[in-house]
Structure 1
């Protein structure tokens, strides 16, 4: 299958987002513990609509496109086509996980990748298996069979140009789940998923939690649980959008992020309130250029990085991020980014670190003034 990608990674702002509620119609997704009449498809749709509503209410400059707004079956190929036709800047697919052991719990964000461990392949086969429900799938997907792990390798050839952007958003989602909603963080994982492999934009598949776990199933079936998870994804989107658009309009201050779920002051609701930043200025704040992300720790010798020397590493979640340069000047960092692109790292982008921990570019600008 020949793909034509016209989007430029990291270029432009975030004006269109596609929100994809997993499964639907005669594809229920996972059935959970069967204590509820709702299935994965129902929870995914409810949360997807809430995320879209939060974006539309609080970020009116963003166009929200849904792959489905009702209980209908949409083929994986069609979901990707909708996103590409909308010329979207980000694709968010929402799902719920399941496992044979009821004790397993936690939220995960998945991006396209090549980590083929048993856990990764389990989820990949689970989410890609919807293809088998489609008519004429053998011809339509040109040999791709979700039952055969070896055919997943081809999927990783498509979305490399958007990997860093996808991981950036996925990590923000996990941070929100962990810090604001107090969910167990299973991290950002790289997996060969069909629906994210065919989108010509950064794409993340979010697993909200395990419906086979009693506590998580109860939480995700509750109105409050769905509100909290949707709000977390919205906040991650807002942060991602601000970061992407910082370069276009760095002189215009951003309005404070509204809290779309705030109804009354209660201890539980306070979990979603913005975290106050320490007043003390960090010891070391600087801009650097991220050139690569990997689930494997690499030796930092230049031959592993297209001859580039001075590469450093920092860990975020369970991933290793490789960076070059250290400067208090955003302009110098931008120049270095272009040099890294010329060196072959086409997806290089500028980030900011404070004492070795990643912060937003807006925070760095304020701290360096």
Structure 2
């Protein structure tokens, strides 16, 4: 197959982050795990528009909540946002932000939509970079990639790529994504949490040609939080409880991914091997070896899901069981000092909260 000059230019542009990664990687042993949260659209680009809401507002709210969950529970993680307010950020700039800090994970947040003349489906789907195998996947990619048309001189900047021309996507056939396995692994965890925890309709993990994913040199996913064109789903996407639940589910997926990442990595401190910090580990989601500290704030004979009103806005919450009793905890740290800081936070809501210890996943009494 012969590539045209414009396609060759585009291939060169889109492989630049891979060249940068090879030329100057930073050892994971000498820095914090870094996650970049990318709320799509913004500013002059509203994204998909519902009956009374805009994609750019919904994804920003969910993104900020997700970042707070990670920051509150993972002191060993550095959270960076491509935008924290209503501003327009070009696609290549979003990738540049992630590549510049050599991020370990890139999470892009979006909402789906169909033409209002059509009956809109519902559900969540999590995408990884790849060659779309269906027209539906291509349509989603075209909609999200069309953001480049808000940029000045986009036809020059993204030489040879037109988001509305299917033939432009043939270039993705030539791109081997070194991070695909890890991206699919993370995407599967996120999708599972969105379905089981947030109770959303499952539209599965999919592959498609997203420019923003191709341009980042790290494991990455693009999450479609739901259909803003569906009236019922739009109400959920706009609601505080819906946004909190979605952010919690994505966080839970991140927590699982980070736990597996830590198992395979070592963090070195003063020349000695130290266990990496892992947040929110409990019998509700698995255990790790070693001593950890959590904040216990409530016991109940009932099992509650994250986001339940009984938690008074405290999230994400884990639990362990003692006989038929559920004991609910917040946070997790390997540091006694950090556990005291967590306790101060929780006691503002639950005055009787206290610190508990676990050894190899078992409560120390």
Q: Secondary structure at 2:21's aligned position in 1?
A: coil
Q: 1:17 aligns with which of 25, 28, 35?
A: 35
1:29 deviates by 0.4
Q: Deviation at 1:248? A: 2.3
Q: CA RMSD in A?
A: 3.2
Judged with a 3 Å threshold, the aligned counterparts in structure 2 of structure 1 residues 50 and 196 are, in CA distance, closer, same or farther, namely same
Describe the SS at the equivalent of 1:155: helix
Residue 270 of structure 1: how far off its partner (Å): 12
CA distance in 1, matches of 2:247, 2:276: 28
Determine if contact 2:91/2:212 at 8 Å carries over to the other structure.
yes
Q: Contact (CA 8 Å) 1:115, 1:191: kept in 2 or not? A: yes
Q: Residue 14 of structure 1 contacts residue 241 of structure 1 at CA under 8 Å; is this kept in 2? A: no
Task: Give the Cα–Cα distance (whole angstroms) in 2 for the partners of residues 14 and 156 of structure 1.
Answer: 34
Taking a change above 3 Å as real, the CA distance of residues 270 and 135 of structure 1, as seen in their structure-2 partners, is closer
Contact 2:248 2:315 in 1 (8 A): no
Match of 1:110 among 111, 119, 127: 127
2:310 aligned residue (248, 265, 272) = 265
SS in 2 for 1:161: coil
Aligned with 1:87: secondary structure?
A: coil
State the SS of the aligned residue for 1:95: strand
- Between 1:188-197 and 1:116-125, the stretch displaced more is 116-125
Counterpart for residue 236 of structure 2: 219
Q: Distance in 2 between matches of 1:135 and 1:262?
A: 42
Q: Deviation at 1:173?
A: 0.6
Counterpart-to-counterpart distance in 1, 2:176 and 2:72: 31
* Equivalent in the alignment of 2:258: 241
TM-fit CA distance, 1:254: 4.5
Partner of 1:44: 59
| Partner Cα distance (2:65, 2:314) in 1 | 19
Partners of 1:20 and 1:91 within 8 A in 2: yes
Q: 1:56 to 1:256 in 2, by over 3 A?
A: closer
Distance 1:271 1:24, change over 3 A: closer
- The structure-2 alpha-carbon separation of the partners of 1:11 and 1:102, relative to structure 1 and needing over 3 Å to count, comes to farther
| Runs of 4+ more than 2 Å apart | 10-14, 100-103, 155-159, 248-266, 269-277
The verdict on how the C-alpha distance between 1:52 and 1:200 changes in structure 2, with shifts beyond 3 A counting, is same
Q: What SS does structure 2 have at the residue aligned with 1:220?
A: helix
Structure 2 counterpart of 1:30 = 48
SS at match of 2:245: helix
**1:88 is the counterpart of 2:103:** yes
TM-score normalized by structure 1? 0.68
Q: Which residue in the other structure is 2:222 paired with?
A: 205
Structure with max Cα Rg:
2
Distance 1:145 1:15, change over 3 A: same
1:188-221 superposed Cα distances (whole Å, 9 cap, x missing partner): 0000000000000011000000001111100010
Q: Distance in 2 between matches of 1:45 and 1:156?
A: 32
Confirm whether residue 54 of structure 1 aligns to residue 99 of structure 2. no
Residues 1:262 and 1:148: Cα distance change in structure 2 (over 3 Å):
closer
Matches within 5 A, 1:321-340: none
What secondary structure, in the 3-state scheme, does the structure 2 residue paired with 1:248 have? coil
Where do 1:101-180 residues align within 5 Å?
A: 101-158=118-175, 160-180=177-197
SS of equivalent residue, structure 2 residue 164: coil
Structure 2 unmatched runs, 5+: 1-11, 267-273, 282-293, 296-304, 324-359
* TM-score under structure 2 length normalisation: 0.68
| 1:194 equivalent among 176, 198, 211 | 211
Q: 1:48 to 1:159 in 2, by over 3 A?
A: farther
Gaps of 5+ in 1: 280-364
* SS at structure 2 position matched to 1:6: helix
CA contact (8 A) 2:197 2:306 kept: no
